[in-house]
Amino acid sequence: MALHEIDRFGVEGGEGYQTTVIVYQNMISSRLLNGAVEQIAGLKEARTVDGLAVNCIDDDTYQIVNDPLNPMRIVRRVHP
């Protein structure tokens, strides 16, 4: 299984906190009956640039899980 980056965007929260969230798509290799191998899109996962897990609440609101300074930090997407 391989991870491919499909999106990257800035987020910000309270006390001036800012980071970048990267969204990855799991790609699963599947062998067809004729022997050909194809890639199938699997689940998506999001992480901060420093590797913290990110939960999506809605299109603009995210929760950073296990942040050592704030374990349940809520952040909002920054639109350019």
The tens place of each residue's pLDDT in the chain, 80 residues long, gives 788 999 999 999 988 899 999 999 999 999 999 999 999 999 999 999 999 999 999 999 999 998 887 878 899 999 87
Model pLDDT, residue 66: 82
Model pLDDT, residue 78: 94
Number of domains in the chain: 1
Q: Give the angle subtended at the CA of 69 by the CAs of 64 and 71, to the nearest 5°.
A: 40
Secondary structure (3-state) at 15: helix
CA distances from 36 to 29, 42, 80 (A): 10, 19, 42
Model pLDDT, residue 72: 81
Range of the domain at 38: 2-77
Model pLDDT, residue 67: 81
